[in-house]
Amino acid sequence: MRFIEEIVVDDFLPTFRSLLADALRERGLTQSEVADLLGISQSAVSKYVHGDVARQEDLLAHRGLEELVERLADGLADGDMSSVQALVETEVFIRELEQGGVLAQLHEEAVPELGDYDDEFAVHDPDSQLRSAERTLASVRRGLSVLENTSGFATLIPAVGSNLVQCLPEADSIEDVAAVPGRILDVKGRATIPADPEFGVSEHVATLLLAARAAGSDARAVLNVRYDDGVVAALRDSGRTVVEFDAEESVEPAVAAALADDPGADVLYHTGAMGIEPVVYLLGDDAVSVAETAREIL
């Protein structure tokens, strides 16, 4: 009897840590610094970087692992990512590999009887709700990292603040939408994110996303930014479909009317009303893509 957690310890961790240790050393970190970041001894780092630890071939061939290692190494080396953030990213990635990914395959190879197991409980369910929630939160965190590292993003934050939200695939309420508690604010010219994303903490931007999806949009993420003619023109010039809606109506019918002819629009905006600030809403497949849209128009 072998548990999938043993596959993680025996196969994933040595491979992952050796790749990340190599990547951090390539970025100029000392063995001592690498050891501190990874929470291991310097002697373990030495073994990793000198190839004294076996790497699992199936994991080495996984493109997602290579991308994760490069992203973490860049963030840790530059100081843009904390060890806790790196741990969370890695935990989410491990869960993905456990739920129908390469770790699940390695587990089934180690315990062939799992392939014949027929019961209501799916050991390697790739569509679990927990996995979807973890992936959604991780996507919002990555999108926020893009915004934090985008020079000048603070100039796009409206007076009411921005929020970056992403929903679960089958979302039907704001409890299914991950967002920043308290919104992203411009504090002395710097975008300030007050807390890690959570589910159910956005009302307005989450409601707009749900309204867009109810009107036929496939978008799963939205970022609201400051309105002006230049921003809207830049979005149109970039080839995006831009649609205006009426701020004086409630969100759901206003968005439904705006998307009636083109539910696939990339951008929604309104020019304000009495007591309502004009705002632009960037729609996309995930939080990272809408954050990158904001970076493109600066």
Reported as a pLDDT band with limits 50, 70 and 90, residue 116 is low
Residue 191 in this model has a pLDDT that exceeds 90:
yes
119 has a pLDDT exceeding 60 = no
Which strand ranges, in their side-by-side order, compose the sheet holding 164-167? 198-199, 177-179, 164-167, 221-226, 279-284, 267-270, 242-244
pLDDT at 2 over 80: no
What was the pLDDT predicted at 121?
A: 43
| Residue 177: both structure tokens together | 């939408």
Q: How many C-alpha atoms does 277 have within 13 Å on its Cβ side?
A: 15
* Residues in the chain, total: 298
Query: Are 257 and 245 spatial neighbours (Cβ–Cβ below 8 Å)?
Result: yes
User: Mean pLDDT over residues 176-204, rounded?
Assistant: 94
The answer, yes or no, to whether residue 157 has pLDDT greater than 50, is: yes
The fold adopted by the segment(s) 129-297 is L-fuculose-1-phosphate Aldolase (3.40.225)
What pLDDT does 6 receive? 84
The pLDDT of residue 247 is above 90: yes
DSSP single-letter state for residue 81? S
CA nearest to 198, candidates 211, 179, 217, 213: 179
Report pLDDT digits (tens) over 65-108: 999 999 999 999 998 888 888 888 898 888 777 766 777 777 77
Fill in the DSSP letter of residue 288. H
225-246: average pLDDT? 96
Average pLDDT over the chain, rounded to an integer: 89
Angle at 92 (CA atoms; ends 174, 218), nearest 5 degrees: 40
User: What are the extents of the domains in the chain?
Assistant: 4-114, 129-297
Cβ atoms within 10 Å of 262's Cβ, excluding its own: 13
CA distance 140 to 31: 32
- Whether the pLDDT of residue 143 is over 80: the answer is yes
How does pLDDT run across 26-53, given as a tens digit for each residue? 999 999 999 999 888 888 888 888 888 8
**Helix, strand, or coil (residue 197):** coil
The tokens for 290 are: 């809408």
Please state, in angstroms and rounded to a whole number, the distance separating the CA atoms of residues 19 and 72: 11
